[in-house]
């Protein structure tokens, strides 16, 4: 959860600046402790071709607690490959599996089969699994 409320034009401007400047906005995480899980899948929107700022903050704050990490990006059309590269950079290791879904795929339900396959793959991936590069799982992302 972000600590600053974003609404209207000024909120959107902050999204944009956070992304462009790779800022780490303050967040308050209220979910379960990621240390208790052998695999964690992060789901984040893409803003201005980059990882959304609050997810950047979460990874910086809790990266050491994330064991096997899967990353799912949701976007209009492009930018997921940049988010994967940034997570790799921030954590010093690549996510074991990545996928990208467009808002259109989410809205029309066509994401479901690929999401299910992603979930099964994360579950069956070994600790030493090779990183699967975004092309493997993304639909349109270049």
Ligand X SMILES: Cc1cc2nc3c(=O)[nH]c(=O)nc-3n(C[C@H](O)[C@H](O)[C@H](O)COP(=O)(O)O)c2cc1C
Residues that bind ligand X (CB under 6 A): 12, 15-16, 45-49, 74-79, 103
**Vertex 104: Cα angle to 49 and 119 (nearest 5):** 80
Cβ atoms of 53 and 19 within 8 Å: the answer is yes
Nearer to ligand X (CB atom), residue 52 or residue 66 = 52
Give me the least distance between CB of 127 and ligand X, in Å please. Answer: 30
Give me the least distance between CB of 49 and ligand X, in Å please. Answer: 4
Nearer to ligand X (CB atom), residue 125 or residue 139 = 139
Q: How far is CA 8 from CA 20, 89, 130, in A?
A: 19, 32, 42
Give me the least distance between CB of 92 and ligand X, in Å please. Answer: 25
The Cα–Cα gap between 102 and 84 comes to 16
Torsion angle of C-alpha atoms 82, 17, 22, 64, degrees rounded to 10: -100
Nearer to ligand X (CB atom), residue 45 or residue 119 = 45
Give me the least distance between CB of 89 and ligand X, in Å please. Answer: 18
Nearer to ligand X (CB atom), residue 26 or residue 76 = 76
Cβ atoms of 77 and 129 within 8 Å: the answer is no
């Amino acid at each position: 959860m972000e600590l600053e409320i974003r609404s209207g034009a000024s909120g959107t401007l902050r999204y944009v600046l956070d992304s462009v400047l790779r800022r780490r906005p303050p967040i308050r995480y209220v979910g379960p402790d990621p240390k208790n899980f052998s695999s964690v899948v992060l789901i984040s929107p893409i803003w201005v071709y980059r990882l959304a700022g609050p997810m950047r903050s979460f990874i910086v704050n809790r990266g050491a607690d994330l064991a096997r990490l899967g990353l799912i990006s949701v976007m209009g059309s492009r930018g997921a490959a940049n988010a994967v590269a940034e997570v790799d950079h921030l954590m010093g290791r690549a996510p074991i599996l990545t996928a990208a879904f467009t808002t259109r795929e989410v809205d029309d339900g066509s994401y479901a089969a690929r999401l299910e396959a992603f979930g099964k793959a994360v579950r069956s991936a070994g600790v030493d699994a090779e990183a699967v590069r975004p092309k493997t799982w993304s639909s349109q992302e270049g």
